[in-house]
Chain A
Amino acid sequence: MAKVKKKVKVIKIDTDKCNGCRSCEVICSAFHASDKYSIVNPARARIRLVREPLNDVYLPVYAGEYTGAECMGRDKYTVDGKEYEECAFCRASCPSRDVFKEPDSGLPLKCDMCEEDPPLDEPLCVKWCLSDALTYEEREEEVEEEEVLEEMDTGLKSLVDKYGLDNLVDSMARMLKKD
């Protein structure tokens, strides 16, 4: 397969520089409002600051993939003597907790790096982070060209993911027989 250049967007997080102000949450929620900037609501932000001042925990975490099923267990980190809350580092919108979900609908949220046309210089959480706990970098990577799936292929692939290929083939076979 052919190699192509891919732009990789990186938000670098220096937790030592975080002062806990949550401006990142403020501007994220405003930018992603359906009427842009019309509301502020950190509960809708795609970044959340795990913030426990007395424990010196200041951890900005970005919303990642939605997952339909929670993990089989939980994790709880202690780093440099500081205990972090359960699943603190996890980016998933997951059934086990209400983070990274729209507060009213429960729909999952995911960081999109403030994609915009024309593109912004940097995601807005980075722009609003005046303490430089968040900085932004872009780099190019060579990656193998992705196979672009047709619409039906995408649908089938998700069925395979959900039920397994064998079940899907069996089911197709039954449907063929009936016809």
Chain B
Amino acid sequence: MRYAETGYNLEIDMSTGNIEKVETDTELTNHYLGGLGTNARILWDRVPPEADPFSPDNLLIFGAGLLTGTPAIGCNRTIITTYSPQTLYMAFSMMGGFFAPELKHAGYDKVIFRGKSPDLVYVWINNDQVEIRDASHLRGKGAVETEKLLKEELGDSRVQVASIGLAGENRVYMASIEHGRSSASRLGLGAVMGDKGIKAIAVRGTKDVNLARPMEVIDFCNYLIDYIPERDSNPIPGVMPILAGLGSPKEMLIHDEKWHTENFMWGNARTRIKDYWTKDVEEKWKETQESVRTRLISCYNCPMECGAIVSVPGISTYMMKCFSKLTYTMAAYSDLDFGFRIAQRATEYGVDGFSTPQVMAFALELYEAGILTDDDLPGLPEGNEERFYWLLDRIVRREGIGDVLANGVYWAARAIGKGAEEYDHNTIKKHEQLPLKLSMLNPIYFLMWATGEKINITQIEGNFPQAPFPTREEREAFVEDWPHVPHEKFKEYFVNWELRGENSFPYYPPPEATCDIVDWQETMHYIDDALGVCAGLSSFPLKPPYHIHNWPVLISAATGMEMDKDKLWEIARRNRTLIRAINVRRGLRRKDDRPPENHWKKRFPELEETLLDTYYELKGFDKNGIPTRESLHDLNMDFISEDFEKRGIYNDGQSEEKS
């Protein structure tokens, strides 16, 4: 018997309609756990690196995490993997909600789509009965609307649906896959789903998920049930509200947006408004939020309530989580009411709430600068907010200028030309980033922005405080109760860290310590993404319930695998290296590992090179960011170095020299 996992994948060829239930190899679980790890291995094995993201050869993989569907709290994530049409690298984005647990109960760890359907269809997975059904009646429907219609059509409110909106149907590079209160938004997964002709996947399952040593799992869960409310009701002093407690984060609960509105940039990542958060704004925003928020809601088997049902008078109800409430607001220099209103339309269209507002703000900047003219934007309304709606409508339909903007800032800038490239100032690897522009180089964040394979800062940062606490006493108090650290040295790094003086940015933490800190945080994310736990209970907050010392206990009890800290660390390292290798095979090199030029005013080129060198060395990459033969051998992945040899990747003239 297989424990925690089902041991089966569902393989669906959208070109031929062939559907197969395939038993999986336990060796893959031993090597990569599940979720992101096994998704990546399948992508490496089965999709040639030359494949266009919109080719039938590309796969779209919906994977449940290894512990998804067990009683372990917060283990509910669906990890979706493909090649990104925007970055052209591997795309992976995760969503919470209820989809992956339902998939496991239907008897599958993953659904793997290949090929392309000639017609728009939806896939109905009802335990062992799997059908591809016509979806022409759903064409053009909103993502939320589609979910509702399918539940009605299938006559069961317990069916779980993942769907795309108009943006996915039209292969917009910012298209998301939506699922109730959750979405897998980044890197254009929805565009690949649309390209394959899949409007939605509906799943219902009534089978068991088995546990290897049940009493030990339950003992662990009892610890979680005590620790989570305890930790959440004792916020960490001195950090911003969303980081003080647990959650992914609890943006729907929290009103205090001083930190985001005054530290993040408005418009096209342009303007910092230092005294924005006045009493008036605070009261108005609080009223807005409370008037539209019907209920705080959670994902499957999680108490955190990071999401909300949002009902704005006059428009249909939708669900929201995380940071989208501010992205549209700030891109348009508007207010929270506008943010909640436009996010409803954006959610139905199914677009990424990080990238999309930035693309629209970028377009309006080009218009102000005369690079885009009235000829390019015929009928553009006068009002600022109306312009955002207008652009959104065109982007998701790929109409006129919308067709260009639908590929994101990087590609749009190059298509428009006439100096538009200058306005593409906030992308990494062709992907839009959080609108942050700061002063002094932060070595930890430099490495995370530069090298994160997810190309998204929130998916690599986490367990180590973002800034030193002002006094040594505060720092000592913080580390006193910090069993989460993988090694005692991390306490020292933190205690000695000062806001000013010798032990401050950019030369503190020194490169080795910086790399250790990045390595720890990144490793925790890779563990989460393989297990399917929400980062909000693990790799994202400070002092979370799950950490490197207790994960092995739970993994072993739930799956029956032998597990200890070192082995788990090695698996995370293997997964991280595998994804780097996938991207290297698609052309990623050191020259691409860079944050936006203006991310910090004060840059230190020499130090930055040293940081990259030190990080690569720690990770077992060569000077060009390519995993070395030796490190691949140590990770039992000689098949990668053999492939690199065959393709001449080690000898392409870039591997030894610095860029």
Contact = CB atoms under 8 A, between A and B. Distances in A.
B297 A19 contact: yes
B302 interface: yes
Contact of A40 (B69, B299, B302): B69
Contact of A23 (B73, B211, B294, B318): B73
B214 A37 contact: yes
Given A39-B209, A40-B209, A130 B228 contact: yes
Interface in B143-159: 144, 148, 157-158
Nearest to A52: B157
Contact of A130 (B69, B144, B148, B303): B303
A18 B302 CA distance: 12
Contacts of A105: none
A20 B71 CA distance: 16
Contacts of A58: 295
Contacts of B209: 39-41
B295 A56 contact: yes
B206 interface: yes
* B contact patch SS: loop
A130 B225 contact: yes
A21 B180 CA distance: 13
Given A21-B303, A53-B319, A39 B210 contact: yes
Contacts of A20: 297-298
B300 interface: yes
B305 interface: yes
Given A37-B215, A43-B105, A19 B229 contact: no
Interface in B219-266: 221, 225, 228-229
Interface string A29-62: 0100101111111111000001111101010000
Interface in B95-150: 98, 105, 144, 148
Contact of B206 (A35, A41, A50, A127): A41
Contacts of B295: 16, 19, 56, 58
Contact of B105 (A30, A41, A52, A131): A41
A21 B300 contact: yes
Contacts, number: 98
Contact of A103 (B73, B206, B214, B302): B206
Contact of B181 (A30, A39, A53, A103): A53
A19 B211 CA distance: 26
Report the contact-size class of chain B (Cβ under 8 Å from the partner).
35 or more
A37 B217 contact: yes
A158 B491 CA distance: 71
Contact of A35 (B214, B296, B297, B309): B214
A23 B305 CA distance: 13
Contacts of A56: 294-295, 309, 311, 317
Contacts of A131: 298, 303, 305
A91 interface: no
A30 B218 contact: yes
B297 A26 contact: no
A42 B105 contact: yes
A54 B157 contact: no
A66 interface: no
A53 B180 contact: yes
Q: Tell which of A23, A40, A51, A56 has the most Cβ of chain B within 10 Å.
A: A40
* A contact patch SS: mixed
A85 interface: yes
A36 B296 contact: no
B225 A21 contact: no
Nearest to B217: A37
A166 B343 CA distance: 69
A19 B309 contact: no
Contacts of A26: 71, 301
Contacts of B298: 19-21, 131
A106 B296 CA distance: 35
Nearest to B104: A40
Given A43-B206, A128-B225, A21 B299 contact: yes
A38 B70 CA distance: 10
Interface string A87-99: 0000000000000
Nearest to A36: B214
A39 B211 contact: yes
B207 interface: yes
A134 interface: no
B208 interface: yes
A22 B302 CA distance: 8
A109 interface: no
Contact of B305 (A19, A44, A52): A19
A37 B318 CA distance: 36
A38 B206 contact: no
Contacts of A127: 225
Interface string B59-74: 0000000000111010
Interface in B170-227: 180-181, 205-211, 214-215, 217-218, 221, 225
Nearest to A124: B218
A19 B210 contact: no
A109 to B, nearest CB: 13
B71 A40 contact: yes
A63 interface: no
A38 B214 contact: yes
Contacts of B299: 21
A35 B1 CA distance: 15
Nearest to A130: B303
A12 B71 CA distance: 23
Contact of B229 (A40, A43, A130): A130
B294 A40 contact: no
A39 B208 contact: yes
A85 B157 contact: yes
Contacts of A125: none
Contacts of B181: 53
A53 B215 contact: no
Nearest to A131: B303
A120 to B, nearest CB: 12
Contacts of B105: 41-43
Interface in B248-296: 294-296
A41 B225 contact: no
Nearest to A38: B214
A71 B218 CA distance: 39
Contact of B211 (A22, A40, A42, A103): A40
B41 to A, nearest CB: 26
A127 B303 CA distance: 12
B343 to A, nearest CB: 15
Contacts of A22: 98, 300-301
Contacts of A19: 295-298, 303, 305
Nearest to B76: A21
Contacts of B221: 27
A41 B208 contact: yes
Nearest to A103: B206
26 contacts: A21-B300, A27-B221, A33-B214, A36-B214, A37-B217, A38-B211, A39-B208, A39-B209, A40-B71, A41-B105, A41-B206, A41-B207, A41-B208, A43-B206, A50-B157, A51-B157, A51-B158, A53-B297, A53-B309, A54-B309, A54-B316, A54-B317, A54-B318, A56-B309, A128-B225, A130-B229
8 residue pairs, one from A and one from B, having the closest CB atoms: A37-B214, A43-B206, A130-B303, A21-B298, A103-B206, A39-B208, A19-B298, A38-B214
Given A33-B214, A39-B208, A53-B297, 16 more contacts: A20-B297, A21-B298, A21-B303, A23-B73, A23-B301, A37-B214, A40-B69, A40-B211, A43-B105, A43-B205, A51-B158, A53-B180, A54-B316, A56-B295, A103-B207, A130-B303
